[in-house]
C-alpha cells in the first residue's frame, strides 16, 4: 500500500507550528486518526501530500468560530482518491460549510463529487433537470417578482423521516451583487443557550412539516404564479414528522439545536400557544448575528453544507439579474471516513 505523508501548517498571527505524521500504511486506522487530529486544530491552511501521487489543498476558515471555510488548490473535475475524500469529509465535519471556488464542473462531475459524500437524497417538491434525476435548478429570472425562495431560516427537508445529511449548490449564473447565503452555526447556538432552556427542551421532540411552504395554500402553492423555479406543491406537505430538538452529531459528537423557523411548527406534548412561544424564543436565539457566516457566491463556486448542524437562508439584493445554481441533496454517509466518534 502507498505510504502517506501529512504536513499541516498552523498559522495564527505570526505563530506557526508544523505537524508531521510518519509514513504508514494507507489503510491504517492510526493514519486516519492522525489526519483528523490535525484538522481539529483550527488551521488557517493545511496541505496534504501523498507519496508518488501528490495533491495539495488549502483550507481557509471564513469566520472566527470556524463555521465556513474555503477549499482551494483542488480540481473537482478529477476523480478523488479515497484518502483525499476522507480528508475532505473531516474538513467538512469540522467547518460545517465548505466553499470550493472556481470549480467549472459538468453535471456528471457534480454528481460524482456528491456520491463521494453519500447516496443521493430526495427533493420531494422540486422537478429535476432532464436526464439528471438528482439535480434541481435553484433559479430566479431577472424580472421575476415572486417572493424570494428559501428566505426563511431552515435545515433542508427537516420534515422528512430521514432529513438529508448534506446539500450541494453549484453556482452557474451569479449576479454581480447580492444573493449571499447565510449560515447559522447550531453547535454555537446550543453551547450559548441558557441552561434553563437547555433543560426545558432536552428530551423533547419538535414537530416538522412542509405545509407553510409547499402545501396547496403555502408560500409556493397554487397562488405562486410566475416563478421560474420548478416547484411542485402537494398535499404531501401537510404531513408531520418529529425529531429531537437537540441532537448529537453522529460524526463530531457535538450537540446541535435541531429546530428551524421554516419547518418546525410545534413541540410534541405542548399546547400550541406554549410551543409557539418557546419556538419563537429558540428561533430568535439560534439565528443571532454571533452565530452567522455570510457566504458569498461566484460563478463556479461549489458549496457543501451539513444540514445536521447549520441552518441557512437566502438573501436578495440582485433585482434585475438572473441567478441560477444546481442543487443536489445527499441522503447519508456512503463510506466510512475519519470520525471523531468511536464505537
Q: How far is CA 97 from the centre of its chain?
A: 5
Exposed / middle / buried, residue 235 (Cβ in 10 Å: 0-12, 13-18, 19+): exposed
Q: Quote the cell numbers at residue 229.
A: 423555479
Q: CATH top-level class for 96-332?
A: alpha beta
pLDDT of residue 333: 53
Q: What are the beta bridge partners of residue 328?
A: 168
pLDDT of residue 83: 87
Angle (CA) 29 75 295, round 5°: 90
Rounded to whole angstroms, the Cα distance separating 301 from 296 reads: 9
pLDDT tens digits for 4-51? Answer: 333 333 333 222 222 222 233 334 444 444 444 444 444 444 444 433
> Per-residue pLDDT for the chain (343 aa), expressed as one digit of tens each?
232 333 333 333 222 222 222 233 334 444 444 444 444 444 444 444 433 345 578 999 999 889 999 999 999 999 888 989 999 999 999 999 999 999 999 999 999 999 999 999 999 999 999 999 999 999 999 999 999 999 999 999 999 999 999 999 999 999 999 999 999 999 999 999 999 999 999 999 999 999 999 999 999 999 999 999 999 999 999 999 999 999 999 999 999 999 999 999 999 999 999 999 999 999 999 999 999 999 999 999 999 999 999 999 999 999 999 999 999 999 965 433 332 222 2
pTM: 0.85
The order of strands in the sheet holding 4-12 is 15-21, 4-12, 45-50
Q: What's the farthest any 2 CA atoms get from each other in the chain?
A: 63
Cell 443557550 belongs to which residue?
193
Q: Quote the cell numbers at residue 141.
A: 429570472
Residue spans per domain, the chain: 96-332
The order of strands in the sheet holding 240-244 is 240-244, 205-209, 264-267
Amino acid at each position: 500500500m502507498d505510504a502517506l505523508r501529512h504536513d499541516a501548517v498552523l498559522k495564527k498571527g505570526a505563530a506557526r507550528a508544523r505537524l508531521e505524521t510518519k509514513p504508514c500504511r494507507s489503510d491504517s486506522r492510526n493514519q486516519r486518526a492522525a489526519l483528523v487530529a490535525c484538522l481539529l486544530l483550527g488551521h488557517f491552511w493545511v496541505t496534504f501530500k501523498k507519496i508518488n501521487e501528490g495533491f495539495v489543498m488549502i483550507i481557509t476558515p471564513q469566520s472566527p468560530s470556524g463555521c465556513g471555510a474555503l477549499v482551494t488548490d483542488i480540481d473537482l473535475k478529477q476523480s478523488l482518491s479515497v484518502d483525499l475524500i476522507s480528508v475532505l469529509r473531516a474538513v467538512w465535519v469540522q467547518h460545517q460549510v465548505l466553499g470550493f471556488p472556481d470549480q467549472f464542473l459538468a453535471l456528471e462531475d457534480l454528481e460524482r463529487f456528491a456520491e463521494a459524500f453519500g447516496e443521493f437524497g430526495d427533493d420531494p417538491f422540486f422537478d429535476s433537470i432532464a436526464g439528471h434525476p438528482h439535480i434541481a435548478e435553484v433559479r430566479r429570472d431577472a424580472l421575476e417578482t415572486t417572493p424570494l425562495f428559501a428566505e426563511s431560516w431552515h435545515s433542508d427537508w427537516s420534515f422528512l423521516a430521514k432529513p438529508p445529511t448534506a446539500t450541494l449548490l453549484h453556482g452557474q449564473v451569479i449576479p454581480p451583487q447580492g444573493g449571499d447565503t447565510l449560515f447559522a452555526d447550531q453547535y454555537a447556538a446550543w453551547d450559548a443557550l441558557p441552561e434553563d432552556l437547555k433543560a426545558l427542551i432536552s428530551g423533547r421532540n419538535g414537530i416538522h412539516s412542509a405545509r407553510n411552504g409547499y402545501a396547496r395554500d403555502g408560500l409556493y402553492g397554487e397562488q405562486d404564479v410566475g416563478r421560474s423555479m420548478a416547484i411542485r406543491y402537494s398535499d404531501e406537505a401537510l404531513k408531520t414528522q418529529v425529531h429531537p430538538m437537540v441532537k448529537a452529531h453522529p460524526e463530531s459528537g457535538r450537540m446541535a439545536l435541531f429546530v428551524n423557523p421554516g419547518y418546525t411548527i410545534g413541540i410534541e406534548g405542548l399546547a400550541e400557544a406554549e410551543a409557539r412561544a418557546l419556538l419563537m424564543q429558540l428561533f430568535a436565539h439560534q439565528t443571532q448575528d454571533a452565530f452567522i457566516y455570510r457566504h458569498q457566491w461566484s460563478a463556479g463556486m461549489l458549496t457543501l453544507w451539513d444540514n445536521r448542524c447549520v441552518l441557512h437562508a437566502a438573501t436578495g439584493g440582485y433585482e434585475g439579474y438572473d441567478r441560477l445554481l444546481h442543487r443536489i441533496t445527499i441522503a447519508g454517509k456512503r463510506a466510512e471516513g475519519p470520525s471523531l466518534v468511536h464505537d
